Amino acid sequence: MSSFSEDDIRRAAEVREWLIKEVTNKKEELDKLRNTLLIVDSLLKKTSFITASNLESSATNLKDKIVPEFQSIHEKEISETKPDSDSTTKISSIDNAHGNNKGVEIRSLKRAKDNFLISDAEYTSTYVKIPLAVDLNLNINTPPFKSFFINRILEGMKTKDTEKIQKGEILREC
């Protein structure tokens, strides 16, 4: 015979039933939390980022509103950051590769707290390229970068592009 009494076995069976119910409840709660997280991520994605099409119209609106005294400051910044002849050649070839005759605009992306250069972003109305600065080491496994930017934003863009390719709205680039 076993060393457990009928009472022990009955209590163990009750605890087992309770554990099964708890596991089921926790699974349901986890599903609800995941769905809520997806909704929050979607909301943040829609409200935190400006699409490129909106960016162009916003830039046009801002350009019309620039106060003349600030235009001279802006023009001075542009003349100070003009690329040398080697980088101009590089930019022209990049521009031609994307089938765009407009010039590539370059903006320095710097960390706000210490003005550390992150990238000299290149963009036109049809593409954006953000090469990292040479001395910058970026770990893609950093939680906010990987989980939010790569997994949520870039994968979402990739999925939309794939859908557009399948519908024939855009051509696949090699």
Task: Give the mean pLDDT of the chain.
Answer: 72
Confirm if 131 and 108 have CB atoms less than 8 A apart.
no
Query: What is the Cα–Cα distance from 100 to 92, expressed in whole angstroms?
Result: 9
Confirm if 156 and 45 have CB atoms less than 8 A apart.
yes
Q: Between 127 and 102, where is the model more confident?
A: 127
pLDDT in tens, 39-94: 888 888 777 665 555 555 544 554 444 444 444 444 444 444 444 433 333 344 44
Q: What percent of the chain has pLDDT over 70?
A: 66
Sign of CA dihedral 152, 154, 156, 159: negative
Confirm if 132 and 119 have CB atoms less than 8 A apart.
yes
- Per DSSP, 149 falls in state I
Domain segments of the chain as ranges:
10-48, 52-59+85-136, 139-174
pLDDT at 18 over 80: yes
Query: What is the mean pLDDT of the segment spanning 143-161?
Result: 78
Predicted structure pTM score = 0.31
